[in-house]
Amino acid sequence: MKKISHNGYQKEDVLKHGNKYMIANGYFGYRGTLDEYTKDEMVQFNLNGIYDQVGTGVRESINAYNPLYTRIDFEGVPITVLSMKPYLHEQELDMKNGNVRRITTFHIKDALFTIESERFADQINRNLMYEKYSFSTSMTLTVDIYTGIDTVIYDLSGVHLESTLFLEEKGIYIVSGKTHELRKDVVVAEKIQTDFKHKSDMMIIDNKVLHHYRIRLVPAKIYTIIKYTGVIHSILDAKEVLVKKVKEASSIGYPKLARQNNQFWEKKWEVSNVDIGGNKAADLAIKNAIYHLISIRPYSDEVSIPARGLSGQTSKGAVLWDTEVLILPFYLNTDLQSARRIVKYRINGLKAALAKAKAYGYEGAFYASESQEDGFDACSDYYVSDLVPNKRIRTYFKEKQIHINSAIVYAIRKYIERTDDFSVLFEGGFEMVFECARFYANYATLSDSSSIYEIKDVNGPDEYHERVNNNAYTNYMIKLTFDTLLDFIHTLRKMDSSFVKTILSVENREKALLNIRKVRNSFYLPKPNRQDIIEQFDGYFDLEDVSLEKWMKRLNHSNEYSGGKNSIVSPTKVIKKADVVSLLFLLNDEFSDKVKKANFDYYEPKTEQGSSFSESMYSMLAINIGNTEYAYPYFMKSAEMDLNFEENLSEKGIFTGGTHPASSGASYLSLIYGFAGLKHHGYLLSADYKLPKGMSSITFKVIVKNHIASLKVNNTKVQITWGDVSEEI
């Protein structure tokens, strides 16, 4: 298994290394920062599934207090990379076991002073995180050690934790706070063990609750501090529960906990690993993408995969429809429990989706553009700001992106096809699909000139063209939603007819079902024209056809928002991201290769590729039509997104970076369903060799019902072998 590392310290690398060396377990993510870092270096102990809003600020995920803070001083001067240039500095992520290590050596007078640490997140007891911190010197030195919990934490949009309390119980330091908006408890605890017998003082300095040691160090002796830490939120008796967990972990001891962690990762990699032969860069990149996807898998049915993982508060910690389209397939192949939780998260959000639809005057369910806890929609009407200070732009993502419903229905359909787990339908999934379809039937309008139902005034995936009519992607995916509902009704009536009857007997659903069937049977689907092109929406062909190069020259600034210029439509054919192309990939079997190629050739030059979602869709369709060399650079860009971090991670002191789960999922999709040509046929699989130059083979595994398939694809053949799934998967 690969390791990621770097040598040397550069201050400008702080933000990207925080992403690169992140650890997570689904409950929390801890950025890959150094032990001595504070909020100024974007230390973020980010929590999944708990959100807060301060005043009129952005409602976003919560960062907990930092329990891994440690600093050593010599003669009152901190021995840190922030205060002195290190003689040697290395940082490393071992993807085999999710362990992040650092080693830093300083010149202190005539001595070499070395700090080493390693940390990992507990993947089973997901409230907990551990660190082993060691230091040594080549000459006798007297130093002060400060280690504990830092309560001065980074927040993007206001201080979210207040009423902070400092407690100490039998050597365990505890800090608790409450969220500003909903007054939810967030508790962090820390217990330490040392191999040196020195009495510690409890100190509160700069809002840090610290153990303080003054030690005269003996040359060549290694001194070690073990930190058992944890976080918990939103439950009764949170402090008592967390203290018990931390005590139990300390009694187990760091060596055994590390062995258990190794065992967990070994089992995960046994199923999830992908090997790429002949291309070391691609092999490292895909393993890193998979590492991040394993790390952020959801811990319960109440959470899913946020847009920026658990790397911080960028994108509000919200869940986007990218999760269902780009990320879910990885879990369907390797981790069925996590796949089920992604589906259940949306089912649990039905109440909020019903309320949103009602607020806009529609029946049925209208799912969130940016989903937070319980399906709450965190998207705002003024989503972006123009470059002119204090000038906000009215956008219609929240109000008009009705295609979100169809991605969720698409996901539950795929989940059931792959697992035969119909239980999710009996646990609210059937009602969810029904209410999504009811919303669409209620939203549809009868054409003035014919008896055809149309979908008017919507935003498709391409966010530059707002409030358009008959967006092809949206219409086809609505048809999929109708068909999925009718398929589920047919299947469930065979399984439990009384269940279907009971569900349809409430909320006027029998009448709504008649309307769904009526709309579905007379529903408008844009067809390919004589050149096999599907018009993205009504009137798209009439827009100005300008090259991307000329279009870019019209912008006042490269970061200028290019949508919303007109309340009806952006005036050119330039699009932000794949729209029709996304349709052709997701509903691959419904369109001929001729249509796919024609639309790829037509829309690709017009697409700005403003997101990893778009790049992955073009990449996968390119492979589908035989253009693997076009697809390879996009695959590598997605796969290396969280390795290279070429984007600007901070703007005017505001952290705008974070990891990219959608890119990780997209790279897996492109590799497995693109270059390896994987296809599912019920209990059977097929694959094809479509490898780009430089790749000699792709080896991976796929869970199929209660079996597991091992596949190897090279440039001449495909090998598939079968085995049984272990109970742990």
- For every residue of 74-135, DSSP letters joined together read ETTEE-STTTS--SEEEEEEETTTTEEEEEEEEEETTEEEEEEEEEEE-SSSTTEEEEEEEE
Catalytic residue among 399, 435, 463, 615: 463
Separation between Cα atoms, residue 587 and residue 480, nearest integer Å: 9
Average pLDDT over residues 653-672: 88
Judged against a pLDDT cut of 60, whether residue 273 lies above it is answered with yes
Judged against a pLDDT cut of 60, whether residue 646 lies above it is answered with yes
Q: Is 577 left (phi over 0), alpha (psi -120 to 50) or beta?
A: beta
Scanning the structure block, which residue is given the tokens 């890119």? 663
- Nearest 5°: CA angle at 199, between 207 and 189? 40
Compute how many other C-beta atoms are within 10 angstroms of the C-beta atom of residue 42.
Answer: 22
Predicted pLDDT of residue 728: 41
Judged against a pLDDT cut of 80, whether residue 368 lies above it is answered with yes
Judged against a pLDDT cut of 70, whether residue 385 lies above it is answered with no
Compute how many other C-beta atoms are within 10 angstroms of the C-beta atom of residue 524.
Answer: 18
Predicted pLDDT of residue 560: 67
Judged against a pLDDT cut of 60, whether residue 207 lies above it is answered with yes
Question: Is 168 one of the annotated active-site residues of the chain?
Answer: no
Predicted confidence band at 559 (pLDDT cuts at 50, 70, 90)? low
Separation between Cα atoms, residue 442 and residue 398, nearest integer Å: 18
Judged against a pLDDT cut of 70, whether residue 564 lies above it is answered with no
Judged against a pLDDT cut of 80, whether residue 625 lies above it is answered with yes
Predicted confidence band at 651 (pLDDT cuts at 50, 70, 90)? low
Contact indicator for 36, 81 with CB cutoff of 8 Å: yes
Separation between Cα atoms, residue 228 and residue 247, nearest integer Å: 8
Judged against a pLDDT cut of 80, whether residue 666 lies above it is answered with yes
Separation between Cα atoms, residue 47 and residue 460, nearest integer Å: 31
Domain ranges of the chain: 3-240
* Helices vs strands, H then E, count in the chain: 21, 30
At 168-190, the pLDDT tens digits run 999 999 999 999 999 999 999 99
Judged against a pLDDT cut of 70, whether residue 465 lies above it is answered with yes
Average pLDDT over residues 155-166: 95
**Residue 198, token pair as written in the block:** 């020195």
At 50-104, the pLDDT tens digits run 999 999 999 999 999 999 999 999 999 999 999 999 999 999 999 999 999 999 9
Judged against a pLDDT cut of 70, whether residue 389 lies above it is answered with no
Q: Which fold has domain 3-240?
A: Beta-galactosidase; Chain A, domain 5 (2.70.98)
DSSP 31-59: -S--TT--GGGT--EEEEEEEE--TTS--
Name, in order, each residue with C-beta under 8 angstroms of 492's C-beta and a sequence gap of 6 or more: 422, 425, 430, 499, 500
DSSP 610-670: -SHHHHHHHHHHHHHTT-HHHHHHHHHHHHTHHHH--S--EETTEE-----HHHHHHHHHI
Judged against a pLDDT cut of 60, whether residue 729 lies above it is answered with no
The single-letter code of the amino acid at 495 is M
C-alpha pair distances (Å), 680 with each of 418, 645, 684, 691, 708: 8, 34, 6, 19, 13
Predicted confidence band at 556 (pLDDT cuts at 50, 70, 90)? confident
Helix (H, G, I), strand (E, B) or coil at 496: helix
Predicted confidence band at 568 (pLDDT cuts at 50, 70, 90)? very low
Predicted pLDDT of residue 197: 84
Separation between Cα atoms, residue 21 and residue 16, nearest integer Å: 9
At 374-383, the pLDDT tens digits run 999 999 887 6
Helix (H, G, I), strand (E, B) or coil at 357: helix
Contact indicator for 289, 281 with CB cutoff of 8 Å: no
C-alpha pair distances (Å), 505 with each of 207, 422, 427, 479, 511: 58, 21, 17, 24, 9
Average pLDDT over residues 647-657: 63
Predicted pLDDT of residue 727: 44
Burial of 712 from C-beta contacts in 10 A (0-12 / 13-18 / 19+): middle
Separation between Cα atoms, residue 668 and residue 329, nearest integer Å: 9
Contact indicator for 272, 699 with CB cutoff of 8 Å: no
At 288-344, the pLDDT tens digits run 999 999 999 999 999 999 999 999 999 999 999 999 999 999 999 999 999 999 999
Separation between Cα atoms, residue 280 and residue 631, nearest integer Å: 18
**Residue 518, token pair as written in the block:** 């009526």
C-alpha pair distances (Å), 584 with each of 384, 565, 605: 29, 28, 17
Judged against a pLDDT cut of 80, whether residue 569 lies above it is answered with no
pTM, to two decimals: 0.96
Predicted confidence band at 110 (pLDDT cuts at 50, 70, 90)? very high
Predicted pLDDT of residue 721: 95
Separation between Cα atoms, residue 490 and residue 513, nearest integer Å: 13
Judged against a pLDDT cut of 60, whether residue 600 lies above it is answered with yes
Distance in angstroms between the alpha carbons of the first and the last residue of the chain: 20
Name, in order, each residue with C-beta under 8 angstroms of 62's C-beta and a sequence gap of 6 or more: 46, 47, 50, 51, 52, 160, 161, 179, 186, 233, 317
Helix (H, G, I), strand (E, B) or coil at 275: strand
Average pLDDT over residues 592-620: 92
Predicted confidence band at 551 (pLDDT cuts at 50, 70, 90)? confident
Judged against a pLDDT cut of 80, whether residue 167 lies above it is answered with yes
